[in-house]
Amino acid sequence: MHITLCILTRNERPCVEIVFPQLPKPGPESGFDAIVVIDGGSTDGTKEYFEERGIPVLGQSRRGRGHAFQIAFDEVDSDAYIFFSPDGNEDPKDLPKFRPLLEQGFDLVIASRMMAGAKNEEDDQFLKLRKWANNAFNIGANLCFRRKGTFVTDSINGYRAITREAARTLALDAPDYTIEYQMTMRAFKHKLSIAEFPTIEYPRVAGDTQAQSIPTGVRFIKAFWHELRGA
């Protein structure tokens, strides 16, 4: 199975300088065969960082994380895709964990921040607002759309892999940060097989989030409602 690591960036130069050197090279040990960067219009030298190192960079005609997924599915020839955000949240040591599950036949593999053995960025805080919101959206997705398999613990996390065939089946069209939530809800609806493994979520190593909590939360409610109406 040919697997491509898709690195998603928009103005992440300071993070990329720290995180990219921690990534394994494509090959049998790494769990992927190729790397591609999908960049949503960086103006801070992120694109140039990768180009200088010979890593292919695909641009986007429209901004948005969901559009970046579309570019991967439309333009990257691979049997499966691992999506990775190089801002420090995601542990590169987990990269080899996707391949065995994909090769076992799972359509979608999610690194879960919520299951036993995992850790969420907010777990050490008293107020875990983002985690609680994530859990509420997750329970809604499981209750309304899951028709087989066990309870999925983290339907929103971006650190995940999907096969090309599954991506085609789901006809994803979310343009923004709701892309992963839409992917999981539609995977439930289509009775695709979903695997999770526990991961540890670390804080961002530099820079600021581009996903503001309240507007992103509203988009999640709309995405959920959209799937409910189309269920």
Considering only 4, 89, 153, 199, the residue that binds ligand GTP (CB under 6 A) is 89
Rule CB under 5 A: say whether 182 interacts with Mg ion: no
CB neighbour list of residue 26: distance below 8 Å, 6 or more residues apart: 5, 32, 33, 34, 35
Q: How many Å apart are CA 211 and CA 217, to the nearest integer?
A: 9
Considering only 3, 68, 101, 195, the residue that binds ligand GTP (CB under 6 A) is 68
- Nearest one of 126, 91, 41, 115 to 205, comparing CA atoms: 91
Rule CB under 6 A: say whether 180 interacts with ligand GTP: no
Q: In what order do the strands lie in the sheet with 80-84?
A: 57-59, 34-39, 3-9, 80-84, 160-163, 108-112, 194-198
Rule CB under 6 A: say whether 9 interacts with ligand GTP: yes
Stretch that binds ligand GTP, among 83-91, 135-143, 184-192, 218-226 (CB under 6 A): 83-91
Which residue's beta carbon is nearest to the bound ligand GTP?
A: 40
Q: Shortest distance, CB of residue 193 to Mg ion, whole angstroms? A: 27
Stretch that binds ligand GTP, among 98-106, 141-149, 161-169, 209-217 (CB under 6 A): 209-217
State the number of binding residues for ligand GTP (CB under 6 A). Answer: 20
Write out the binding residues for Mg ion, residues 118-137 only, by CB under 5 A: none
Which residue's beta carbon is nearest to the bound Mg ion?
A: 89
Q: How many Å apart are CA 26 and CA 169, to the nearest integer?
A: 27
Rule CB under 6 A: say whether 209 interacts with ligand GTP: yes
Residue 124, SS3 per DSSP: coil
Q: How many Å apart are CA 23 and CA 20, to the nearest integer?
A: 5
Backbone CA torsion sign across 136, 87, 222, 214: positive
Residues that bind ligand GTP (CB under 6 A): 8-10, 12, 38-40, 60, 63-65, 68, 85-87, 89, 204, 209-211
